[in-house]
Amino acid sequence: MKFSIMVNEGPYTHQASDSAYHFTAAALKAGHEIVRVFFYHDGVNNGTRLSIPPQDDRNVCTRWSELGQQHELELILCVAAAQRRGLLDEDEAKRAGKNSDNIAPGFEISGLGQLIDAGIQADRLVVFGD
């Protein structure tokens, strides 16, 4: 089965991000295809490389980056939601006149068209969070 995943909540404010990560990892392990993971609303906070959780806590952002790189997943941050929350890739930072970017490895910024396309390509779009 082909799944697309939508994550609407941040990594440390709601269980949705952890649930989405574990669902995605389990689906891949079971041989399913993940078309794309789309991070929307506060979910874009999963894509920052600047979070520093305590050493005895899980690093949700790093988990997503590693899973994405291991399985060549598209990890897409909604551009509008990311900009509102100060998440910028190199191009967006330059365009906005900012002096640095903060997107974690494996993540990219794109628009809602990527979510629509993911829903079309997949058998199921699974949404985590409100």
pLDDT of the residue at 123: 98
Residues 24 and 34 sit within 8 Å (Cβ to Cβ):
yes
Percent of the chain with pLDDT over 90: 93
Measured distance CA(107)–CA(66) in Å, rounded:
10
Residues 38 and 113 sit within 8 Å (Cβ to Cβ):
no
Residue 78 is a catalytic residue: yes
The domain segmentation of the chain, as residue ranges, is: 2-128
CATH number of 2-128: 3.40.1260.10
pTM (two decimals): 0.95
Percent of the chain with pLDDT over 70: 100
pLDDT of the residue at 20: 98
Mean pLDDT value across residues 77-105: 95
Residues 39 and 76 sit within 8 Å (Cβ to Cβ):
yes
Query: Given the DSSP bridges, would you call strands 33-39 and 2-7 parallel, antiparallel or unpaired?
Result: parallel
Among residues 7, 34, 61, 78, the one annotated as catalytic is: 78
Structure tokens at 100: 């640095």
